[in-house]
Every structure is written in structure tokens, then in C-alpha cells.
């Protein structure tokens, strides 16, 4: 599951940035339009049936942070 999430996020960000993307890449250096990034996050929230708060969004600095928050939210979802 973790690898699947990582691959999906990497592929989606690669399409938006039009370049190779790694988990360690900083989001602000990918040259992705903020509206496109917001749409991507909404898409991921819907796909994984999670909700990412505004506060959590502000803490997303790297691609790995996006993957991690999805994994954390999914784990919380399955614990309830």
C-alpha cells in the first residue's frame, strides 16, 4: 500500500511539473501552479476518502510529506 500511494503521488506530481520527481523533492521547487496542486490534493482526498486540514497542508514541504500525510490519514481511518 505504501509503495502504491508513493507511486501515485509521484506520477501525479510528475505530470504537473513535467519533470522527474523524487520523494525528497521540495514541493515549492516543482513549479506546480497552486491551483493545480490544490486540485491534486482534492483528487487524492477523494480517492483515499481522507480529509487534510488547512493546518496539515501548511506543513507539507516535500513530496514525502504528501505521501506520509495520506498514509497517516488512511491508518486513522482504518482504526476507527
What distance separates the 2 farthest-apart alpha carbons in the chain?
A: 38
3-state secondary structure of 62: strand
* Residue 36 falls in the annotated catalytic set: no
Note whether 60 and 21 are within 8 A (CB).
Answer: no
Q: Which of 33, 36, 65, 68 is catalytic?
A: 33
C-alpha cell at 57: 497542508
Q: Which residues are catalytic?
A: 33
Amino acid at each position: 500500500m505504501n509503495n502504491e500511494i508513493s507511486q501515485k503521488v509521484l506520477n501525479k506530481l510528475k505530470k504537473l511539473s513535467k519533470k522527474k520527481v523524487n520523494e525528497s523533492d521540495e514541493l515549492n521547487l516543482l513549479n506546480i501552479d497552486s491551483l493545480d496542486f490544490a486540485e491534486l490534493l482534492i483528487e487524492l482526498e477523494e480517492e483515499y476518502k481522507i480529509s487534510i486540514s488547512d493546518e496539515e497542508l501548511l506543513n507539507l514541504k516535500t513530496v514525502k510529506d504528501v505521501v506520509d500525510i495520506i498514509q497517516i490519514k488512511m491508518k486513522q481511518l482504518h482504526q476507527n
